[in-house]
């Protein structure tokens, strides 16, 4: 899983990274503007967000993320334990709070909790796009009740596209999410799997919803490409 840490204290940021590795892959930002940019340009499973940041505070970053439709779970860090600060964060869309200084184990447990809640809405349920249904538990996909015979990586690619429909996913993002940074293959494998996925979708006509952005990546669009 990929996490973004937005914290202006380099030492604390490194401590958080050390705590999360190797279970999580981390990226760091040291001010509000940089954090907002990274959160918009990349896809993360969760964001650890400090309130007191240069240029743009954590509340402003969170408010902007939510206004732009970015629903990534956010764990806010604060040096204040007042109820007003917590309520303000929750109103802006925070998923949980952690008061500094904190124990490493509490950080891990709170992070695991918000990640469980974030994925729980799809557990034992289906993810849908028009008449397409994906069963995330059994890794099966159907269109109008007709089964798509996808292998593991093909299903993961389709799931990633459906989960981020109407958003462009770069080949690097897809590769990192499905194959991982340490894979010995290259991003050209994304093109191969996208082509295979289109072939599976073509009989139903759903291949036309996968749009290719040359030199960039792919998008599953509500509009036919």
| pLDDT score of 186 more than 90 | no
Instruction: Report whether 218 contacts 175 (CB < 8 A).
Output: no
49 and 110 assigned to the same domain: yes
Question: Which span out of 82-91, 151-160, 164-173, 204-213 was modeled with the highest average pLDDT?
Answer: 204-213
| pLDDT score of 57 more than 70 | yes
Q: What is the pLDDT of residues 1-31, one digit of tens each?
A: 899 999 999 999 999 999 998 788 999 999 9
- Whether residue 37 is contained in a domain is answered as yes
Q: 18: part of which helix (H) or strand (E)?
A: helix 10-20
CA torsion sign, 188 to 36 to 114 to 129? negative
8 and 102 assigned to the same domain: yes
Helix intervals (H) in 93-202: 104-120, 152-163, 171-178, 188-201
Q: Find the domain containing 136 and state its range.
A: 126-220
92 and 141 assigned to the same domain: no
Model confidence band, residue 122 (pLDDT cutoffs 50, 70, 90):
very low
Count of domains for the chain: 2
Residue for token digits 């503007």?
33
Answering whether pTM is above 0.75, one says no
* Cβ neighbours of residue 19 closer than 8 Å, sequence gap 6 or more: 104, 107, 108
End-to-end CA distance of the chain: 31
40 and 133 assigned to the same domain: no
164 and 73 assigned to the same domain: no
Tell me what pLDDT residue 225 has: 63
Q: Of 15, 190, 35, which is closest to residue 107 (Cα–Cα)?
A: 15
């Amino acid at each position: 899983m990929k996490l973004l840490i937005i914290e202006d204290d380099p030492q604390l940021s490194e401590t958080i990274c050390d705590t999360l590795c190797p279970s999580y892959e981390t990226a760091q930002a040291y001010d509000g503007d940089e954090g907002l940019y990274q959160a918009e340009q990349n896809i993360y499973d969760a964001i650890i967000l400090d309130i007191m940041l240069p240029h743009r505070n954590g509340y402003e970053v969170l408010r902007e993320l939510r206004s732009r439709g970015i629903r990534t779970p956010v764990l806010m860090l604060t040096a204040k334990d007042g109820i007003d600060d917590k309520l303000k964060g929750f109103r802006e869309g925070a998923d949980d709070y952690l008061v500094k200084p904190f124990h490493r184990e509490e950080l891990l447990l709170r992070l695991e909790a918000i990640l469980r809640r974030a994925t729980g809405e799809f557990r034992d349920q289906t993810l849908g796009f028009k008449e397409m249904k994906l069963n995330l538990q059994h890794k099966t996909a159907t269109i109008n009740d007709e089964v798509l015979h996808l292998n593991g990586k093909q299903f993961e690619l389709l799931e990633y596209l459906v989960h981020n429909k109407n958003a462009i996913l770069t080949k690097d993002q897809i590769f990192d999410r499905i194959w991982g940074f340490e894979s010995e293959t290259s991003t050209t494998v994304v093109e191969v799997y996208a082509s295979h996925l289109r072939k599976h979708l073509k009989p139903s006509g759903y291949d036309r919803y996968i749009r290719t952005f040359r030199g960039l990546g792919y998008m599953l669009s509500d509009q036919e490409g």
